[in-house]
Structure 1
Amino acid sequence: MKLQRIRFYKRSVIVNWLISYISVLLVPIMISGIIYAATWHVVESEVNRANESVLQKMEQAIDSNLGGIERLSMEMALSKRLGGFINVNKPLTDNDYYDLVNIANDLRVYKMANDYIEQIYVYYKNSDTVLSTREHIDSRTLFETIGAKDDQSLEEWKAFFGKRYIQEYVPITTQEDGPPVKAVMFAKSVILDNPDLPGAVILFIIKDSKLLENIRTPNDATVAVLDQHNRMVASTGFEERPDFLAHNRLPGKNGLLYGDVSGEKAAVSYTTSDSTGWKYVSMIPAELFDEKMKYVKNLIYMSIGLSLLIGGLVTYLFLKKNYNPISVLIRSLSTKSGISFEEGSNEYGYLQEALNNTFAEKEKIGQRLERHRNAIRSHFLQGLLKGRLEQNVPVHESLAAHNIRLASPYFAVLLFHIDHYGKFASSGDAQPQKEKLAHFIMMNVAEEVAGLQHQAFAAELDGMLACIVNFDETHKASDLDRIAEQVKRFLLDHYHIRLTAAISGIHQELEGISRAYQEAIAALEYRLVMGSGEIIRYDELPSSESGGGSAGYYYPLHVEQQLINFVKTGDYEKSKAMIDDIIEVNVSSASVSVPLAKCLMFDLIGTLLKTMDEIGTGNKREFINRVNPVDRLIGCETIKDMKNQIGEVLDQVCRSILEDRSQGQSQLSEQVIAYVKQHYSSENLNITMIGEAFGLTPSYVSKQFKAHTGEALLEFINKTRLEEAKKLLTGQTMPIAEIARRVGYADINTFNRIFKKYEGITPGKFKEIV
């Protein structure tokens, strides 16, 4: 690799450095951009402030005059002379025409009260009369004068004036004595004391030129006024409202934005009136706005250009200076270690890979040695436990090779079975690794606890942990209990691992280790009876010489028959309590061996299945396939687990028995419901009649119906009759007495009383409502 040249490759460290330097170089460029954005914001704010000032003055002037017109409309609406003509009908009399002349004079006076008013109309709906300061016309002529120019139909026009109350501004096109002129119409309804009369509407016509005639706008600026319905009220440069000037494009009360107006870019300022909801908009060409930013933009461009030029030169010089030491180091390492460096590769990656390979190789060698040492030692201990020792190698040499020094000829074996892995419990691919870690921790804890007074050697065997205890000068069985208890407590407190411990007797010489292991295995099997998490001693087992033993278990025929009777009634609580007592009697005294305990559990399951046979349950085969009680017992590891499984099977057996009984009750209830719906019109329908129809006592039918439906049978009969009565009251014109007779009530008073009890009102009131 030549030092004089810098070669750029995609993976080379040169590229990483270049990216870093360019990132630093981008900082002044970003700052320049931020300065430009801030300057733009300042200029934008100043332009917006100037435009807002003009728009606010326009808003104040227009709102003030419109407010005067609204007050004038209120005064006119309260005028007795204007209001008195509302009641006039067609045809008009001479007195009516005289009144119209007086009203027209009043309108001239009102018109002079506000310079914005171009014309005033009063439309009297009752007589279809429209009166202005100059003439008296009808509604169609008014429509042709101020309504027909805006693509509005006569029906739409009449619908507008047909509203009960009107008070709003509407853009219009008016044509009285000249060409069509854009204007704004303010319509105000005259409030009437009598709401049944059609009423009248006062119309004020305001030309849009009047709205903007005293408004001074900046040079080249266009002003527009939009009402709250997105209609253009007035403008100084538009015939129609551009699409850009829509309410959804002008959010908020005021603001400044850019848009395309009539094919040209423009800066648009706007504000919204609080009183009318109108938007006042000022638009100036974007070119005038951009001129203010040209000088600042040129300065920014110059700053960015200088930054790129000077920064690029400095970047190149530093790249060359910093890369030379790396190049020398890689060339030296490649030559001495024999690891070639491919040109274009990442230099740091090459250095890291070379170091990782060295350390990894060293670690593999150490792990291989340690793994073989532990495996050989564990294999030797497994041979001691199972009584398989190599005949060709003396025992004392094997002990010395594994650094095992015996303190005495007395031995015992502890077996630990993991009931729950606690913090190491998981699922998936990680479980085997976590189990190995848990076993490793258990081996170290067992050796350390036992080694406080004696020597201990732990090995993993058939999924369990076996600990060989070699006693010191003294050998006491109580020491084994202490070791097992301390190991259990430590693993439970620190790792939440739950263990079952089995303790053998004490034997002499190495040959006694295998006998101690067999005893520990036998003690651990008794975990089925004692349950998980116990410390089981071989000397205390029923089958041992010191423990006595039993030839059977307690489950006599009269107890089995009593259990069958409880199950037949579906009484889960009593059946469960009796099964618990049977298990407790057999297990509490520890007098039952493992095979007999299993037989007891299978006998209990057999009793449950026998009960289903005796009561004739039809779905027994389907029940066995679904619940599978035998396989569930076989999969249990302890009597406690078996007890729980028998409880679940018992619960499902009792449920099945109760369901079979309730099914018969359900069929009776459905038949009674059908019978009532068929005979509700009979006056003789009652509980006695239903009992006779089904061949049962009335009290039994009523009790079964109540138990299944939750409703009294007499109430169901009344509700059924009332449902039919409501249908007749709704769709028929027959007398109430006839309706009562048709639904089974001979006495109309009884019908009225029961109807009011359930519906809250009498049948007559119900018929009036519906």
Structure 2
Amino acid sequence: MLKYSKVFRRFLISYIVILIIPSIGGYMSYRTSIAVTESISIENSVIQLQKSQEILERRIAEVEGLTRQLAVNPELNVLLNERGRETNVYGIWRTMRNVLTFGQTNDFLQDYYIYLANYDLVLTPGSSYRPEHYYEIFHYNDLPQAEWKKQVLEKTHRSEIRPLSAFVSKGAQTSVITYMQSLPLDSFNDSSPAVVVVIIDEKIIASLLSGLTERYGGWVHISDAAGKTIVLQGKDEPYMNKLNTDSSFDKGKVSQFYRDDLVITTRSDTNGWVYQAGIPRSILLENANRIKYMSWLITGGALFLGLLAGLVLAYRNSAPINRMLSVMKEQFGKEETAEQSEFDFLSGNIANMITKNKLLESELHRQLPLVRDAFIKRLTAGEFESREEIVSAAAQADIGLNQGTGYAGIIQINGYSGMDSVEILNELNAARLLVKQALAALIGPLPMADMGSDKMVCLFFSGSGESAADQEVAVTHIMENLAQLVLKEYRISVQAGFGGYFASVTEVSGSFEQAKQALEYAVYMNKKGITWNHEARIKNSTYYYPLDTEQRLMSTLRAGELAEATRIIDAIFAQNLGERELSIEMKHQLIGEMKGTFLKLLDQKTFMESPLFESAKRRIIDISSTEPLDHIQAGFHAIMEGLCGYITNKKKDAHTQIIKQIYQYTEEMYSDSELTLYRVAEHVERPEKYISQLFKEVTGVNYSDHLVKVRMDQAAILLKDSRYTVDEIAARVGYNSSHSFRRAFKRLTGISPSTYRQSYAE
């Protein structure tokens, strides 16, 4: 132990120092964990309250949507416009059947009615009443019947909400808020033909906020813009009045501690409602106390085990070092000159290898931007024919495609339109570089390429589990930050146009074309910031079927890529008949042009020689643009399945023919020692890498192994004939070295050539 004491002590001291670091940081991490846990809890509570707010506002918006649907309902409008006639019983029955079923998908619409002034009639989803009869079953505690008719039924309302009120529903006491809207929507008189009244139970609203009250044991309070209570759970009105009038409580803060509660406050930009939630402080610090206990337990255990491990490792690591030092002294002596020469030899060669490696890396890095730029331009231009080709090119350019979905966009530097002097171009080059650096600083490396002197194309690929809507919000946030950053730092003004979501890397070009349209729209409308394609969308008088989409569809079908062709066809239908408003004539023209694409494809030599030419042509012609869209789309799918199936079978036949040629050529040329895969590829007129992959896929073995087997089979035949020596046989089967032949023969058969000949003779 004395022999290793010096090195041992150095190792042990270093391990002890490392172990002291966690013990010093233990207390700091504990204090930090409390703050972080409290911050996370506050953040989660704020997010939960905001989500509940979004859900509630969305439900209220659906209630408003109901009134818009009723305003344009023809049956209800007939009832509203009838004057001086007997009661239209049939019309009222049809209205109750067709109109009063809208609330089946929204629990806020479970209890509503329509009051028809000309009939003095209340229509509910289940029945119809005279106002006085309805009031007997459903009424407010604080409104007499006459006052109810005056304030609710006979008054003109424009999206009014009556605050929380005590209410009797079929004898049961509850509390409700009331949404009121007069019909028609443009009613301006003191009275209107009809009023839609939606009664929303407080319990339904409170159920949306149950996570805060049940999970944390807190309270929730919602009030309207006038301060009147909409929902109150967990506290009473006096407490809330005291809270909101207390000068120590800041109503402008999102989160703050008041007494023993964390109070979270948000305000709706839509209707001015104020949402407040309170969470007990003890619940927030529950996780922090658990972390405190676990931190001390883990830190103490780690120190004890670490000290034991340090003793063991210090000995184990010091022993081999001392042994190596003793061996080096025995081999090279105690003089430092011998050790110095060995070090110089190793360091010189290692330094030389490192230098060459760095030169190679430098050259590759210098070429990489050019490769990336070319890849992005080809991708946005739609020049790739298959997804596999795109994936291979992306790997070569060191560009990660992630899920292969996302958005394409164009960033334009403003203020340089029509300027093309040398000074302006130099300034634009610098501006583009600054914008790229700013964008990289915001989100890291991003696939980008220059598009002219004042534009750049950029691709945002989705991460794992990221939806299209989430990514659109994230991209919008990034571009807004970019515009603010470059304007503030460099006085550069930018605007951007983004296309629609591409569900596959083969659809990037379509998203890019949409981005160009969006940017053109933004420039035309002088719209600053980011413009999405769906924001620029207007009613289209024509269809969208660009030439590059047609060419990509034809190329995909010629390659037999059924899945990709199906995706393109579905995208065309979605783009034109889902996202656009085409006239019947434009729809007919679109279907006709798509049929023309398939007919042009059939006229090519590949399909003209096929047995399915006539049947496919007849099926294309038989597609009628007057049929339902799903029938037309299914018809194109069926035609594509037939064409791609033919191409796939043709490829298999071609592959089989190539393999036969390789077999035949190998049988003829196996005795040539210069026979290689390159010679075989040259003979069948295909690339060497293609032949290697094809032979492996079809036969299951490498070509080199097949060549060895052919040569050994011929060698086995010649070994049965005693006229040839082993050396002569080696030369006859293509080996320049008899030693290599013997080794290959034994590796394949398990015995040497001489033993094989002897066993055959015996």
Same fold (TM over 0.5): no
Considering only CA atoms, is the larger Rg found in Structure 1 or Structure 2? 1
More helix by percentage? 2
TM-score by length of 2: 0.30
